[in-house]
Amino acid sequence: MIIIKNEKNYSVFETKTKWKISIVKTELSIDYNISKKDIPTFEALKEYILSEDIF
């Protein structure tokens, strides 16, 4: 799954207990892990990423 924000592509991988969000910039990869207890659905995760300045 992909979420696009400000011309950045965030790859989203779902596991049983968390969301793993990755972005690759040149040779650097940044990964975020977010618990599904905090954000249980992909739609909620997308809204969170689009609304937060950290992304």
pLDDT of residue 22: 96
In the predicted model, is pLDDT for residue 13 greater than 90?
yes
19: confidence class by pLDDT, cuts 50, 70, 90: very high
Q: Say if CB 19 and CB 36 are below 8 A apart.
A: yes
- Mean pLDDT value across the chain: 94
In this prediction, residue 27 carries a pLDDT of 84
Average pLDDT of the residues in 24-50: 94
Would you say the C-alpha torsion 45, 51, 54, 55 has a positive or negative sign?
Answer: positive
* pLDDT above 90 (res 24): no
